[in-house]
Structure 1
Amino acid sequence: MPDLTIRDLDEVVYDTIVDQAEVMNLSVDEVARNLIRLGLLHDVEGRVVVADSIRAKTKGPVEDSTDIIRRVRDRGYGSGASA
Protein backbone atom coordinates (compact mmCIF):
# COMPACT_ATOMS: atom_id res chain seq x y z
CA MET A 1 0.00 0.00 0.00
CA PRO A 2 1.32 3.48 -0.81
CA ASP A 3 2.42 5.88 1.91
CA LEU A 4 1.50 9.54 2.10
CA THR A 5 3.52 12.14 3.96
CA ILE A 6 1.84 15.42 4.84
CA ARG A 7 4.16 18.32 5.61
CA ASP A 8 3.35 21.63 7.29
CA LEU A 9 0.10 20.40 8.80
CA ASP A 10 -1.60 23.03 10.93
CA GLU A 11 -0.82 22.26 14.59
CA VAL A 12 -4.47 22.64 15.63
CA VAL A 13 -5.50 20.09 13.01
CA TYR A 14 -2.80 17.68 14.13
CA ASP A 15 -3.76 18.07 17.79
CA THR A 16 -7.40 17.42 16.91
CA ILE A 17 -6.46 14.24 15.05
CA VAL A 18 -4.32 13.07 17.99
CA ASP A 19 -7.14 13.81 20.45
CA GLN A 20 -9.65 11.96 18.29
CA ALA A 21 -7.29 8.98 18.00
CA GLU A 22 -6.87 8.78 21.78
CA VAL A 23 -10.59 9.05 22.51
CA MET A 24 -11.54 6.50 19.84
CA ASN A 25 -8.64 4.18 20.72
CA LEU A 26 -7.28 4.37 17.17
CA SER A 27 -3.90 5.24 15.76
CA VAL A 28 -3.26 8.70 14.34
CA ASP A 29 -2.81 7.03 10.93
CA GLU A 30 -6.22 5.34 11.17
CA VAL A 31 -7.94 8.62 12.04
CA ALA A 32 -6.14 10.42 9.21
CA ARG A 33 -7.11 7.69 6.70
CA ASN A 34 -10.74 7.85 7.83
CA LEU A 35 -10.80 11.64 7.52
CA ILE A 36 -9.31 11.52 4.03
CA ARG A 37 -11.85 8.88 2.98
CA LEU A 38 -14.69 10.96 4.40
CA GLY A 39 -13.40 14.09 2.70
CA LEU A 40 -13.20 12.36 -0.67
CA LEU A 41 -16.75 11.06 -0.35
CA HIS A 42 -18.09 14.56 0.26
CA ASP A 43 -15.90 16.41 -2.27
CA VAL A 44 -18.49 16.77 -5.02
CA GLU A 45 -16.44 19.33 -6.96
CA GLY A 46 -13.39 17.04 -6.96
CA ARG A 47 -15.43 14.07 -8.16
CA VAL A 48 -16.92 16.16 -10.99
CA VAL A 49 -13.44 17.24 -12.11
CA VAL A 50 -12.28 13.61 -12.21
CA ALA A 51 -15.41 12.53 -14.13
CA ASP A 52 -14.93 15.35 -16.65
CA SER A 53 -11.31 14.32 -17.12
CA ILE A 54 -12.34 10.71 -17.81
CA ARG A 55 -15.01 11.87 -20.27
CA ALA A 56 -12.46 14.03 -22.11
CA LYS A 57 -10.24 10.96 -22.59
CA THR A 58 -13.08 8.86 -23.99
CA LYS A 59 -12.55 8.01 -27.65
CA GLY A 60 -15.18 9.12 -30.11
CA PRO A 61 -18.32 11.14 -29.61
CA VAL A 62 -20.83 10.09 -27.01
CA GLU A 63 -24.08 9.03 -28.66
CA ASP A 64 -27.43 10.29 -27.57
CA SER A 65 -29.47 7.44 -26.10
CA THR A 66 -32.50 8.53 -28.15
CA ASP A 67 -30.56 7.96 -31.38
CA ILE A 68 -29.48 4.50 -30.22
CA ILE A 69 -33.06 3.55 -29.33
CA ARG A 70 -34.34 4.75 -32.72
CA ARG A 71 -31.71 2.72 -34.61
CA VAL A 72 -32.51 -0.42 -32.61
CA ARG A 73 -36.24 0.11 -33.14
CA ASP A 74 -35.80 0.75 -36.87
CA ARG A 75 -33.89 -2.53 -37.25
CA GLY A 76 -36.86 -4.34 -35.78
CA TYR A 77 -35.21 -5.39 -32.52
CA GLY A 78 -37.32 -5.36 -29.41
CA SER A 79 -40.56 -4.90 -31.31
CA GLY A 80 -41.74 -8.44 -30.68
CA ALA A 81 -41.29 -9.30 -34.37
CA SER A 82 -39.38 -12.44 -35.11
CA ALA A 83 -36.28 -12.13 -37.27
Structure 2
Amino acid sequence: MPELLITDLDDATFRTIAFQAEAMNRSVDAVVPDLIRIGLLHDVEGRVAVSDRIRSMTPPRSSDAAPPEDGTAVIRELRGPI
Protein backbone atom coordinates (compact mmCIF):
# COMPACT_ATOMS: atom_id res chain seq x y z
CA MET A 1 0.00 0.00 0.00
CA PRO A 2 1.38 3.47 -0.81
CA GLU A 3 2.50 5.68 2.02
CA LEU A 4 1.81 9.39 2.34
CA LEU A 5 3.89 11.70 4.50
CA ILE A 6 2.15 14.94 5.42
CA THR A 7 4.37 17.78 6.60
CA ASP A 8 3.57 21.28 7.84
CA LEU A 9 0.15 20.27 9.16
CA ASP A 10 -1.02 22.97 11.54
CA ASP A 11 -1.48 22.05 15.21
CA ALA A 12 -5.22 22.76 15.26
CA THR A 13 -5.88 20.36 12.39
CA PHE A 14 -3.79 17.63 13.96
CA ARG A 15 -5.50 18.09 17.34
CA THR A 16 -8.89 17.79 15.64
CA ILE A 17 -7.86 14.59 13.87
CA ALA A 18 -6.35 13.15 17.06
CA PHE A 19 -9.47 14.07 19.07
CA GLN A 20 -11.71 12.39 16.49
CA ALA A 21 -9.50 9.29 16.47
CA GLU A 22 -9.61 9.09 20.26
CA ALA A 23 -13.38 9.59 20.33
CA MET A 24 -13.79 6.75 17.83
CA ASN A 25 -11.31 4.56 19.72
CA ARG A 26 -9.10 4.34 16.61
CA SER A 27 -5.58 5.40 15.77
CA VAL A 28 -4.79 8.58 13.85
CA ASP A 29 -3.33 6.38 11.10
CA ALA A 30 -6.67 4.56 10.83
CA VAL A 31 -8.78 7.73 10.75
CA VAL A 32 -6.80 9.81 8.24
CA PRO A 33 -7.49 7.68 5.10
CA ASP A 34 -11.24 7.95 5.74
CA LEU A 35 -10.95 11.72 6.20
CA ILE A 36 -9.01 12.06 2.96
CA ARG A 37 -11.58 9.92 1.11
CA ILE A 38 -14.45 12.06 2.46
CA GLY A 39 -12.56 15.24 1.56
CA LEU A 40 -12.06 14.04 -2.00
CA LEU A 41 -15.78 13.33 -2.37
CA HIS A 42 -16.65 16.86 -1.26
CA ASP A 43 -13.90 18.68 -3.18
CA VAL A 44 -15.97 20.15 -6.02
CA GLU A 45 -13.05 22.04 -7.54
CA GLY A 46 -10.92 18.88 -7.62
CA ARG A 47 -13.71 16.80 -9.13
CA VAL A 48 -14.26 19.41 -11.86
CA ALA A 49 -10.52 19.40 -12.59
CA VAL A 50 -10.56 15.61 -12.98
CA SER A 51 -13.60 15.82 -15.30
CA ASP A 52 -11.90 18.50 -17.38
CA ARG A 53 -8.75 16.38 -17.63
CA ILE A 54 -10.71 13.33 -18.80
CA ARG A 55 -12.66 15.47 -21.26
CA SER A 56 -9.38 16.85 -22.67
CA MET A 57 -8.25 13.29 -23.47
CA THR A 58 -11.34 12.71 -25.65
CA PRO A 59 -10.82 13.59 -29.31
CA PRO A 60 -12.95 16.57 -30.36
CA ARG A 61 -15.96 15.91 -32.56
CA SER A 62 -15.76 17.31 -36.05
CA SER A 63 -18.28 20.00 -36.92
CA ASP A 64 -19.90 17.82 -39.61
CA ALA A 65 -20.37 14.81 -37.30
CA ALA A 66 -23.91 13.72 -36.54
CA PRO A 67 -25.18 14.74 -33.12
CA PRO A 68 -25.24 12.01 -30.48
CA GLU A 69 -28.25 9.71 -30.66
CA ASP A 70 -31.07 10.34 -28.23
CA GLY A 71 -30.86 7.60 -25.62
CA THR A 72 -34.56 7.69 -24.82
CA ALA A 73 -35.56 6.13 -28.15
CA VAL A 74 -32.91 3.43 -27.79
CA ILE A 75 -34.08 2.54 -24.27
CA ARG A 76 -37.72 2.35 -25.39
CA GLU A 77 -36.77 0.09 -28.29
CA LEU A 78 -34.75 -2.22 -26.05
CA ARG A 79 -37.52 -2.32 -23.45
CA GLY A 80 -40.08 -3.48 -26.02
CA PRO A 81 -43.83 -3.04 -25.89
CA ILE A 82 -45.33 -2.52 -22.47
TM-score normalized with structure 1 length: 0.71
* AA matched with 1:50: V
Deviation of residue 62 (structure 1)? 7.8
Q: Which moved more, 1:26-35 or 1:5-14?
A: 26-35
Aligned pair 1:49/2:33, yes or no? no
User: In structure 1, what is the equivalent of residue 5 of structure 2?
Assistant: 5
Q: Which structure is larger by alpha-carbon Rg, 1 or 2?
A: 1
Aligned pair 1:69/2:69, yes or no? yes
Aligned residues: 69
SS at match of 2:4: coil
Distance 2:61 2:34 in 1: 38
Distance 1:31 1:68 in 2: 45
Q: Percent identity?
A: 52
TM-score normalized with structure 2 length: 0.71
User: In structure 2, what is the equivalent of residue 37 of structure 1?
Assistant: 37
The 4+ residue runs of structure 1 with deviation greater than 6 A are: none
Deviation of residue 46 (structure 1)? 0.7
Distance 1:67 1:15 in 2: 54
Q: CA offsets, 1:37-74, max 9 Å, x none?
A: 111011111101111011101134289xx72438xxxx
What RMSD over aligned residues (CA atoms) do the two structures have, in Å? 2.4
Structure 1 residue ranges without an equivalent (≥5): 71-77, 79-83
Q: CA offsets, 1:7-61, max 9 Å, x none?
A: 0100111111111111101110121111111110111111011110111011342
